[in-house]
Chains A and B, each alone.
Chain A
């Protein structure tokens, strides 16, 4: 399991680093919001989920897709705007979804996914099969009404939902302490009568343990949990033609990128230290990820652009 989690984190990081290069080369379109540095949150939480469980995501959603088991070929084709992309090229980076695996969509609106996650959790509650919904959102979402409404109603109805706050320390360019008085985001949980748990979001095993407890509670019908995962966005908020200039303090960035805080390096060191993984096996894992990503780019580039005659297709269901 730990090796699989490491592989998923490496894949997420390499996918986004590649997406940035592809965007610089104008081969993919639109905006890229890299998840680099935050991989342990998506992977730790999704490692506790089943295929029939659901997630909602954010504008920074590539990591959530991969962690939930999405096909990187179809993700890449979507970034390329091609017809074999998950949304047939209609959504792009900010709107990737895969309903077949319970990935109910990235979302360009901060906190927009929380009510939808509660709706999916209500459906799961009515189905009575023990499925849960994990709802990813950033620290910025805690300023939105949708966050507070969703916490209240889900606690009231004991919905099987896990609210996963990815506190990456910055809402776009604004430091979290400049928009909130209380650093302990998990403390909101008490006001709504649910457990609130803070966890080192760069320790995938800690995230996994915290998520496991929340998921089991939700499956038992005891209602939602708020997880506060402290992590850090290594790179910029968003890029179009070129990465924007860095505005955050250099020492803060360096501290978070140090080997003892980088989620991937920490798990690598742990697994090698435990003898679970050898340096050779790690190198071949990284090669395999690189080859998979090259194949994804080839898949995307081989896929045609959508036919403009299909512009109106998918508007309304029959």
Chain B
């Protein structure tokens, strides 16, 4: 299969979905020239820097028969539009008794590691998970990025797609056919027997690198990528933990009220999975600080392979005591 980058995979998804369904429209504060050339400036619009307005326009057009894909740019900018996200998009279907569907997709980049400092290095997916009415997508490979974005655009609900900045240049095999990756299905990226590592976005790759590095020591690591946080395929994670008895969750968001915390809670609330645990579950997350600018400080704030290895060794030691 041909290999393309994560960013090219996302672009392909947009091209294919706009060609497939003329109700798909898109807007962003940056011109999407390739899309505009192909589909025209009625369906592909660039907007004033007015996040509240264009977030709500996406919602209103979705409730009136279209499938808007709204690009916030960095997730940072979505915070300017919190009324439309929190009070409107996440509640509109339920509070009106399900009388209309709102098939709008919000895209944004996310994550740190690029020395762009506190405001532009955030990973706030758990804030959006908390709202209950939004689907949350977080791909870690080019193939998943394409398949999940396509599924998001076809979904009949508001979906937020978080696209990790550090993965944009990553290459990988991507189907050139019309293949979707369904929302709510986790992917076991590597099978193992000793410890389950759930990684999110960039940290799926880091977890895979750690798994490979520990293999010569006879440590068998299973790496799971949830791929979507809402809906969350908790059963795949629980089944893995029942097999390995050990759980480490790796994410670059701070640990407090994080997706990592939610995953651990859902795993330990299940009696059979709880009984199978041989060690306390571990979170490997960002330090509870705004992400700092200077490279050594930023590196210290974010998870890395050494901290993932240390957490794996902790859960392996715990049951030896």
Contact = CB atoms under 8 A, between A and B. Distances in A.
Interface of A: 54, 56, 85-91, 95, 97-100, 104-105, 107-109, 111-112, 114-124, 126-127, 145-146, 149-150, 152-153, 156-157, 313-318
B25 interface: yes
A189 to B, nearest CB: 16
A97 B99 contact: yes
- Going nearest first, the 9 A-B pairs with the smallest beta carbon separation are A119-B60, A115-B56, A314-B98, A123-B64, A87-B97, A149-B53, A317-B156, A149-B50, A116-B60
Interface residues of B, number: 44
Contacts of B55: 115
Given A118-B60, A120-B60, A88 B53 contact: no
A87 B91 CA distance: 12
Contact of A117 (B50, B60, B157): B60
Nearest to A316: B157
Contacts of A105: 92, 96
B56 A315 contact: no
B87 A108 contact: yes
Nearest to B84: A115
**Listed residue (B42, B57, B87) with the most chain A CB atoms within 10 angstroms of its CB:** B57
14 contacts: A54-B64, A99-B63, A111-B83, A112-B56, A115-B52, A115-B57, A116-B57, A116-B63, A118-B53, A122-B61, A123-B60, A124-B64, A317-B98, A317-B101
B30 to A, nearest CB: 16
Interface in B42-76: 42-43, 45, 47-48, 50, 52-66, 68
B133 interface: yes
Contact of A119 (B45, B58, B100, B135): B58
Given A119-B61, A119-B62, A122-B60, A86 B52 contact: no
A8 B36 CA distance: 46
Contact of A86 (B47, B53, B57, B99): B99
A69 to B, nearest CB: 15
B95 interface: yes
Contacts of A156: 48
Contacts of B79: none
A116 to B, nearest CB: 4
Contacts of B133: 315-316
Given A112-B83, A153-B48, A314 B60 contact: no
B84 A99 contact: no
A99 B96 contact: yes
Given A116-B63, A146-B84, A316-B157, 19 more contacts: A54-B64, A88-B97, A91-B95, A109-B83, A115-B55, A115-B57, A115-B60, A116-B59, A116-B60, A118-B60, A119-B56, A119-B59, A120-B61, A121-B60, A123-B64, A126-B61, A314-B94, A315-B94, A315-B132
B171 interface: no
A167 to B, nearest CB: 22
Contacts of A315: 93-94, 132-133
B88 interface: yes
Contacts of A116: 56-57, 59-60, 63, 84, 88
Contacts of B63: 99, 104, 116, 119-120
B61 A99 contact: no
A163 to B, nearest CB: 13
Contacts of A149: 48, 50, 52-53
Contacts of A124: 64
B25 A126 contact: yes
Contacts of B157: 316-317
Contacts of A121: 60
A90 B96 CA distance: 7
Nearest to A127: B65
Contacts of A114: 53, 56
Contacts of A88: 97-98
Nearest to B60: A119
Nearest to B86: A109
B45 A316 contact: no
B50 to A, nearest CB: 4
B31 to A, nearest CB: 15
Nearest to A119: B60
B135 A316 contact: yes
A60 B100 CA distance: 22
A314 B66 CA distance: 20
Contacts of B96: 86-87, 90-91, 95, 97, 99, 105
Nearest to A118: B57
A314 B42 CA distance: 32
